[in-house]
Amino acid sequence: MNHSEENQMEKGYIHIYTGDGKGKTTAAFGLAVRALCAGKSVFIGQFVKSMKYNETRMVEKFDRISIEQFGNGCMLTREATEADIRAAHEGLTKCRDVLLSGEYAVVILDELTIALFLGLLELDDALQLLRSKRPETEVVITGRYAPQELIDIADLVTEMREVKHYYKQGVLSRDGIDR
């Protein structure tokens, strides 16, 4: 391994998976599996989520992974409450502690952009969080509506665009495929 390959392995990059297409969280969890299989440790903080989806069962299958949810029920049909804001802020504090600890090689901030979009968190706080990360920690951010300021500091941005989706044909979320 030459010196530049060594340096690339040591630096942790910031990824963003955004857009209106399906698969942002799934892509992040896929990266988590890849990291776990390589012997790395993974922390996943899920903003605005409180349901136990099938992917959260990864903690039963792998060591070196922690998943915490910082949500307060479905927000699709209601306004944000103080409890929602408090959960998001507690999540941001927890994620800051994780990013500073050096305990995890990969940190996934699932639906962080949605927490920003809904006004649960301030963009400046999220930017400060990312700037405070340890240089070797890989960070993955998911969610629609990624603000330009986040995109600007990211090293890798993937926009998932919906071209066609079976939900529009009335197919509900399927166990093991969509949830």
User: 6 in a domain, yes or no?
Assistant: no
Tokens of 28: 């992040």
pLDDT-derived band at 50 (thresholds 50, 70, 90) equals confident
* pLDDT tens by residue, 109-118: 999 999 999 9
* 6-28 exposure pattern, b = at least 16 Cβ within 10 A, e = fewer: eeeeeebebbbbbbebeebbebb
Domain-located, residue 24: yes
Bridge partners of 44? 67, 108
For residue 76, is pLDDT > 80?
no
- CATH number of the domain bearing residue 144: 3.40.50.300
What is the tally of structural domains in the chain? 1
CB-based burial label for 61 (10 Å; 0-12, 13-18, 19+) = exposed
Q: From edge to edge, which strands make up the β-sheet containing 106-110?
A: 65-70, 42-47, 106-110, 138-142, 14-18, 156-159
Assigned domain for 178 exists? no
Does the residue 170 lie in any domain?
Answer: no
pLDDT of residue 8: 52
Residue 44 belongs to a domain: yes
Is residue 177 a part of any domain in this protein? no
| Mean pLDDT confidence for 22-27 | 95
CA quadruple 52, 56, 61, 66: dihedral, nearest 10: -120
Task: Express each pLDDT in 135-154 by its tens digit.
Answer: 999 999 999 999 999 999 99
Residue 84 included in any domain? yes
pLDDT of 6 above 70: no
Res 51 pLDDT > 90: no
Encoding tokens for residue 80? 């944000």
Q: Does a structural domain hold residue 4?
A: no
Model-wide pTM > 0.75: yes
Structure confidence at residue 78 (pLDDT)? 83
Alpha-carbon distances of 29 from 57, 90, 101, 141, 162, rounded to whole Å: 11, 22, 21, 11, 19
Calpha distance 164→167 (Å, rounded): 9
* Residue 54: per-residue pLDDT: 87
What is the span of the domain harbouring residue 112?
Answer: 11-161
